[in-house]
């Protein structure tokens, strides 16, 4: 089996699994810290921490849901809001913010009045990936709960947590009581402690998120004129009837770029029908180095990808010498391997991948130092083993279509093996 074949099989396998070998500890943890008990319940700070290295929560942001264990209500929320109030008709005077048994809570938009804000709130539910910006990988709000237990013996943990980020894909575990969080006072001279803390862990599975991939990869090289395109219908061709030709007049119409409530895309017509294509071009061969050009193209007229990220697995990424115009960070999921890294946009420069059209693409070049023992242009070695865009794995072309070195790799392999056989013959004869 050739290396590229193996990589292809592994890619197919891992597409189905929830476990992500490139980010084995990645999860989103939701922490409830009870800050005070009230006459009929408690006030809690709820914090979402995104511990995933390269998967962020894009606009329109997260929706957090749960089911109350008893008849709890939400008196008020600071820094977020429940999407529906529900039936509060049995209350007189003070009306709760939400009476639903299974509330759904969303972040507020930036720019809300100061008295409605809470630390780390009000970012429209956008949460950065841990590997990209740990300081922005958090979101929080404060909730006042009524008709609840009023001590750590009587309070009941909410059940059936759900997280949309923004679409489906996350599965949340049960809430677990954990050691109480400690906080430093603003002057950092005193430690305080939550009265009680519970955690919920949510993990992502691309398989749950969508039936088809969301992006595909194409290849080219300086040593072969063949351009290996994205596989046909890589992202499913169901939307083919609604796609827009890039030269169509519709593209100039006002409102064409307005995102839809259900986030449905408006794709440019392509044979792959992917919203995102990543192109890897093996550009130059130097004596001790080689150079790759990476281009990312957006084919969706209705999405600007903010805080986009690209993850690439390739054995030569342990010797990245320079990355031009993107930020780069090696991902080292296991101490022994260093073949994976994440690329992302530079703040305020190219961290926005614009909607489809003349500006809907980004490019970078990558200079790698050859490792004398492993480096080769043969058998597709120079092409990535895995590519992820925004945390979702992209479909690679079938290995036998990769651009080959003119002196065919197969013939060469045959030459080597026949050389070995001749040598063995010589030895055994001699
Ligand atoms: C969630 O992620 C954090 C950070 O990587 C890790 O320490 C923790 O063990 C993970 N939790 C679970 C339940 O996997
Ligand atoms: C609970 O979640 C917080 C992050 O929100 C994390 O720092 C802490 O380690 C978690 N505790 C346990 C026991 O998993
Ligand atoms: C409940 O609070 C008491 C003190 O008020 C403490 O001793 C006990 O450990 C707490 N139990 C839990 C489960 O947090
Ligand atoms: C939680 O979800 C499970 C399975 O989806 C369901 O059987 C159970 O009734 C739900 N519990 C509550 C309290 O809604
Ligand atoms: C993308 O961003 C540009 C510039 O900020 C804006 O004009 C355009 O309407 C946005 N497109 C979408 C689909 O949100
Ligand atoms: C991994 O590779 C990068 C270059 O891409 C290098 O800077 C880093 O030191 C390497 N880390 C380890 C643990 O080998
Ligand atoms: C490439 O990186 C590995 C470890 O990351 C190191 O052992 C090796 O010497 C490097 N090769 C070159 C040519 O720098
Ligand atoms: C270029 O690569 C393709 C496979 O993708 C192969 O069919 C073709 O023979 C190669 N061209 C040359 C000149 O080797």
Look at residue 10 and tell me if it is in a domain: no
Ligand 6 center to 284 CA (angstroms)? 23
Ligand 5 center to 362 CA (angstroms)? 16
> To the nearest whole number, what is the mean pLDDT of the chain?
89
67 lines ligand 4 (CB under 6 A): yes
- Domain count for the chain, please give it: 2
Look at residue 319 and tell me if it is in a domain: yes
Distance CA 216, CA 369 (A): 27
Look at residue 102 and tell me if it is in a domain: yes
Regarding whether 280 and 170 lie in a shared domain, the answer is no
Ligand 1 center to 51 CA (angstroms)? 7
Regarding whether 251 and 135 lie in a shared domain, the answer is no
- Pair of tokens at residue 414: 């045959």
159 lines ligand 4 (CB under 6 A): yes
223 lines ligand 8 (CB under 6 A): no
Regarding whether 204 and 286 lie in a shared domain, the answer is no
Look at residue 170 and tell me if it is in a domain: yes
Q: What is the pLDDT of residues 285-305, one digit of tens each?
A: 999 999 999 999 999 999 999
319 lines ligand 7 (CB under 6 A): yes
Regarding whether 240 and 379 lie in a shared domain, the answer is yes
What pLDDT is attached to residue 109? Answer: 95
Q: How much is the pTM?
A: 0.87
Instruction: Judge whether residue 157 has pLDDT over 80.
Output: yes
Chosen domain end from 208, 236, 255: 208
Regarding whether 413 and 275 lie in a shared domain, the answer is yes
Regarding whether 276 and 147 lie in a shared domain, the answer is no
Ligand 5 center to 56 CA (angstroms)? 19
Chosen domain end from 208, 240, 269: 208
Pocket test for ligand 6, best of 316, 338, 369, 371 (most atoms within 8 A of CB): 338
Instruction: Judge whether residue 8 has pLDDT over 80.
Output: no
Closest C-alpha to ligand 7, atom 5: 318
What pLDDT is attached to residue 124? Answer: 95
Q: What is the pLDDT of residues 116-129, one digit of tens each?
A: 899 999 999 999 99
85 lines ligand 7 (CB under 6 A): no
What pLDDT is attached to residue 74? Answer: 98
The mean pLDDT value for 168-178 works out to 96
Neighbours of 96 (CB within 10 A): 20
Look at residue 178 and tell me if it is in a domain: yes
Regarding whether 174 and 259 lie in a shared domain, the answer is no
The mean pLDDT value for 404-423 works out to 50
Q: What CATH number does residue 166 fall under?
A: 2.60.40.290
Ligand 5 center to 166 CA (angstroms)? 18
178 lines ligand 2 (CB under 6 A): yes
Look at residue 338 and tell me if it is in a domain: yes
Ligand 7 center to 379 CA (angstroms)? 22
Q: What is the pLDDT of residues 211-268, one digit of tens each?
A: 899 999 999 999 999 999 999 999 999 888 899 998 888 888 888 899 888 888 999 9
Look at residue 4 and tell me if it is in a domain: no
Chosen domain end from 154, 179, 208: 208
Regarding whether 185 and 287 lie in a shared domain, the answer is no
The C-alpha angle 137, 56, 235, rounded to 5 degrees, equals 175
Instruction: Judge whether residue 326 has pLDDT over 70.
Output: yes
Give the whole-number percent of the chain exceeding pLDDT 90.
75
C-beta of residue 305 within 8 angstroms of C-beta of residue 297: no
Regarding whether 275 and 383 lie in a shared domain, the answer is yes
Regarding whether 52 and 103 lie in a shared domain, the answer is yes
Regarding whether 251 and 146 lie in a shared domain, the answer is no
Q: What is the pLDDT of residues 10-48, one digit of tens each?
A: 444 444 446 788 898 899 999 999 999 999 999 999 999
Distance CA 405, CA 164 (A): 45
C-beta of residue 63 within 8 angstroms of C-beta of residue 139: no
Distance CA 394, CA 20 (A): 14
- Pair of tokens at residue 242: 């609604």
Instruction: Judge whether residue 275 has pLDDT over 70.
Output: yes
Regarding whether 323 and 219 lie in a shared domain, the answer is yes
- Pair of tokens at residue 84: 């529906």
Ligand 5 center to 251 CA (angstroms)? 14
> Nearest Cα to 381, choosing from 300, 288, 306, 315?
315
User: Which stretch, 70-74, 404-408, 414-418, has highest mean pLDDT?
Assistant: 70-74
Q: Which of the four pLDDT bands, split at 50, 70 and 90, describes residue 417?
A: very low
Proximal ligand: closest to the CA of 33: 2
Q: Is the dihedral of CA 136, 138, 142, 143 positive or negative?
A: positive
Distance CA 189, CA 174 (A): 35
Look at residue 12 and tell me if it is in a domain: no
Structural domain boundaries enclosing 361: 211-428
């Amino acid at each position: 089996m050739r290396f590229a074949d193996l990589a292809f099989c592994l890619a197919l396998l891992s597409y189905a699994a929830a476990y992500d070998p490139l980010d084995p500890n990645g999860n989103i943890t939701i922490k409830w810290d009870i800050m005070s008990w009230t006459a009929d319940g408690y006030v809690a700070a709820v914090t979402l921490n995104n511990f995933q290295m390269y998967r962020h929560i894009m606009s329109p942001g997260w929706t957090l849901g749960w089911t109350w264990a008893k008849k709890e209500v939400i008196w008020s929320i600071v820094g977020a809001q429940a999407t529906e109030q529900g039936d509060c008709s049995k209350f007189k005077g003070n009306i709760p913010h939400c009476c639903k048994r299974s509330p759904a809570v969303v972040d507020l938009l930036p720019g809300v009045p100061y008295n409605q804000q809470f630390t780390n709130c009000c970012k429209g539910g956008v949460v950065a990936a841990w590997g990209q910006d740990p300081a922005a990988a958090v979101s929080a709000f404060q909730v006042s709960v009524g008709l609840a237990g009023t001590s750590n013996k009587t309070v009941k943990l909410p059940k059936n947590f759900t997280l949309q980020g923004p679409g489906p894909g996350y599965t949340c575990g049960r809430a677990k009581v954990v050691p109480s969080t400690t906080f430093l006072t603003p002057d950092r001279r005193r430690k305080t402690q939550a009265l009680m803390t519970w955690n919920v862990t949510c993990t992502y599975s691309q398989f749950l998120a969508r039936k088809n991939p969301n992006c595909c990869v194409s290849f080219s090289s300086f040593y072969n004129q063949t351009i290996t395109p994205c596989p046909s219908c890589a992202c499913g061709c169901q939307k083919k009837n609604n796609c827009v030709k890039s030269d169509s007049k519709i593209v100039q119409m006002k409102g064409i770029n307005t995102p839809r409530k259900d986030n449905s895309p408006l794709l440019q017509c392509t044979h792959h029908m992917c919203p995102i294509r990543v192109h890897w071009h093996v550009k130059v061969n130097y004596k001790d180095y080689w150079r790759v050009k990476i281009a990312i193209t957006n084919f969706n007229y209705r999405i600007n990808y903010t805080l986009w990220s690209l993850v690439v697995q390739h054995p030569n990424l342990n010797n990245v010498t320079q990355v031009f115009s993107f930020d780069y960070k090696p991902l080292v999921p296991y101490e022994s391997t260093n073949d994976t890294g994440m690329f992302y946009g530079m703040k305020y420069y190219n961290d926005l991948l614009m909607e489809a059209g003349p500006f809907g693409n980004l490019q970078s070049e990558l200079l790698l130092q050859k490792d004398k023992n492993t480096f080769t242009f043969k058998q597709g070695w120079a092409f990535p083993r895995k590519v992820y865009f925004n945390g979702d794995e992209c479909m690679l072309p079938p290995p036998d279509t990769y651009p080959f070195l003119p002196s065919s790799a197969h013939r060469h392999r045959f030459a080597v093996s026949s050389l070995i056989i001749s040598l063995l013959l010589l030895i055994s004869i001699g």
